[in-house]
Amino acid sequence: MFLSNRPFVALALVIFTLSAPLNAANAQTAVSVDVTPDQLRIMAANSIVNGNPTQGYEMAQALLARDPNDVEALIIRARAARDLGKLTEALSTARKAWFGAQNASERFGASMVMAQTLSTNGAKTRAQLWLRRAAQNAPSEEFKQVAVRDFRYVQRTNPWSTELSFSASPSSNINNGSTRTTTRLFDLPFEFQLSGTARALSGVQYNAGIATRYRLSESERAQNDLLLRLDHRTYTMSSEAKTLAPNAKGSDFAFSSAALSYIRRGFTGAGSDLPYQIEITGGRTWYAQQPFMQYARASVTQNYIFRAGSFVFAGLAREKQQSLSARQDADNWGLSAGLRLGLTNKDQLTLSANAKKSNSIDAALDYEQLTLGARYAFARPIAGVSIDMGLSISRKNHETSRFTRSGRQDKTISADVTGVFNQIEYFGFSPSLTLSASQTDSNIGLYESRQFGVRVGIQSSF
């Protein structure tokens, strides 16, 4: 590949994948004719592209002797130094190029070379941050896809992976309270007035979380990861909610959790059509800033891929919960099964069934539950928005209840739709909007609830 057009000199050095092996050939070519700086830049870039970083480095040095702030020459020298294994020099040169860049092409070239050098040096996470900068400053969609391609390669080879999540969502029921104002209790023939905190309180829910994964080992057949997850959810109450419950505040319903998981993914048998996942998790939760409970959970899921993009799955889970509060201990079993279909139009349909059995001396924690769900994801954006929607129906049965001799039976219907606004993007992140609604009907009015929510968040577009 030979370059002849100067505007693309700084970009040509970064169009190759980060996975390509480095070539530090030392062939020398003597230049016996006078050349202009533009011609020398092209010759230097061609030297590196065609496997002669030593010559490209020397030509870049000549250009920088003429003008120490020549951004294209800095990019060329940084790439040549990286190919020659001079990583410290490559990083400092790329950084100088970034701060001296005057246009999108120069910023793209500088950030790409910085990312390539960091990746070569083992700093994969920092390389991903610079690749997001490159995508943000790409002078065209073609060059943006180069940055996205390299980002995915670095992400795939990085033993560390971290995801941050933030969202805010107005909610009609932040405390999972009852929609009723009165209810019958203890099989008595009259209604009890519900307290303010037992009724549905409206407000705004705020979520923040971090999940960081470290890959312990990887082979062609399996991956072994450690995953740490931290989440916090808190609320502010609306003026109406404050009137209903004047002594309550949003933080009274705050919930936090911390969990550490070991996850193994691999294949059952010799083929690749039977992927499985084993997960062992230990965690702790807090409610209203006070310790709530700790738990240990183990689960296994087996998939069968019967065609590209389509598979069936089945899983088994066991969880033991130990109370750290007035709540009682609980012991849970869970079964799950489902089907994901990749449709001819590339849309995805997922059908699932989940059964849960919870055992506890507390009647509220002793129940059987069955949940049926369906999700549909559109492959093609609609008016620039990627759409994903879901519907679930759940039945929960408590044989006993402290409020009635006939036990407790709940039926819950939930629906949600999420839109990701792909056309709005900043450093590879796009805003998302989720609309959700759920309704629980119960033979005990205290547990009847209705909730509507609107959640605004952000998510990575690549």
Burial of 218 (0-12, 13-18, 19+ CB in 10 A): middle
Rounded Cα distance, 97 and 75, in Å: 6
Q: What is the pLDDT of residue 28?
A: 42
As given in the structure block, the two tokens for residue 97 are 């190029």
Rounded Cα distance, 262 and 100, in Å: 45
Asked if residue 236 is part of any domain, the answer here is yes
Q: Are 303 and 309 in contact (CB under 8 A)?
A: no
* 67 and 179, same domain (yes or no): no
Asked if residue 317 is part of any domain, the answer here is yes
Rounded Cα distance, 364 and 232, in Å: 24
Among candidates 38, 74, 77, which has minimal Cα distance to 54?
Answer: 77
Q: What is the pLDDT of residue 253?
A: 96
The alpha carbon torsion through 62, 68, 71, 74 (nearest 10 deg) reads 60
Q: What is the 3-state secondary structure (H, E, C) of 144-173?
A: HHHHHHHHHHHHHHCCEEEEEEEEEEEECC
Rounded Cα distance, 345 and 25, in Å: 48
Q: Domain of 429?
A: 160-460
* 251 and 191, same domain (yes or no): yes
Q: What is the pLDDT of residue 186?
A: 77
* 153 and 173, same domain (yes or no): no
CATH of the domain at 453: 2.40.160.40
Instruction: Indicate the SS3 state at residue 353.
Output: strand
Asked if residue 186 is part of any domain, the answer here is yes
Number of H helices, E strands in the chain: 9, 16
* 67 and 112, same domain (yes or no): yes
Reported pTM: 0.85
Rounded Cα distance, 169 and 149, in Å: 33
pLDDT in tens, the chain (462 residues): 334 444 445 555 554 444 444 443 333 444 445 788 888 999 999 999 899 999 999 999 999 999 999 999 999 999 999 999 999 999 999 999 999 999 999 999 999 999 999 999 999 999 999 999 999 999 999 999 999 999 999 999 999 999 999 999 999 999 999 988 888 877 777 788 888 899 999 999 999 999 999 999 999 899 999 999 999 999 999 999 999 999 999 999 999 999 999 999 999 888 889 999 999 999 999 999 999 999 999 999 999 999 999 999 999 999 999 999 999 999 999 999 999 999 999 999 999 999 999 999 999 999 999 999 999 999 999 999 999 999 999 999 999 998 898 999 999 999 999 999 998 999 999 999 999 999 999 999 999 999 999 999 988 888
Q: What is the pLDDT of residue 35?
A: 80
* 150 and 164, same domain (yes or no): no
Which ranges in 390-458 belong to alpha helices (H)?
Answer: none
* 218 and 345, same domain (yes or no): yes
Among candidates 10, 139, 3, which has minimal Cα distance to 72?
Answer: 10
Among candidates 358, 355, 356, which has minimal Cα distance to 331?
Answer: 358
Asked if residue 306 is part of any domain, the answer here is yes
Rounded Cα distance, 366 and 406, in Å: 14
Both ends of the chain: CA-CA distance in Å? Answer: 29
Distances (CA, A) of 353 to 312, 337, 357, 396: 12, 5, 14, 14
* 107 and 169, same domain (yes or no): no
CATH of the domain at 64: 1.25.40.10
* 293 and 431, same domain (yes or no): yes
* 142 and 194, same domain (yes or no): no
* 233 and 128, same domain (yes or no): no
* 134 and 224, same domain (yes or no): no
* 115 and 206, same domain (yes or no): no
Distances (CA, A) of 13 to 43, 236, 253: 12, 52, 54
Instruction: Write down which residue in 135, 157, 179 finishes a domain.
Output: 157
Rounded Cα distance, 198 and 184, in Å: 14
User: How many domains is the chain partitioned into structurally?
Assistant: 2
| The dihedral sign for the CA sequence 36, 38, 44, 46 | negative
- Residue 282 makes CB contacts below 8 A (sequence gap 6+) with 259, 260, 261, 294, 295, 296, 297
CA angle 295, 390, 372 (to 5 degrees): 60
Instruction: Write down which residue in 113, 136, 157 finishes a domain.
Output: 157
Asked if residue 1 is part of any domain, the answer here is no
Instruction: Write down which residue in 141, 157, 173 finishes a domain.
Output: 157
Rounded Cα distance, 419 and 387, in Å: 5
Among candidates 98, 22, 21, 100, which has minimal Cα distance to 56?
Answer: 22
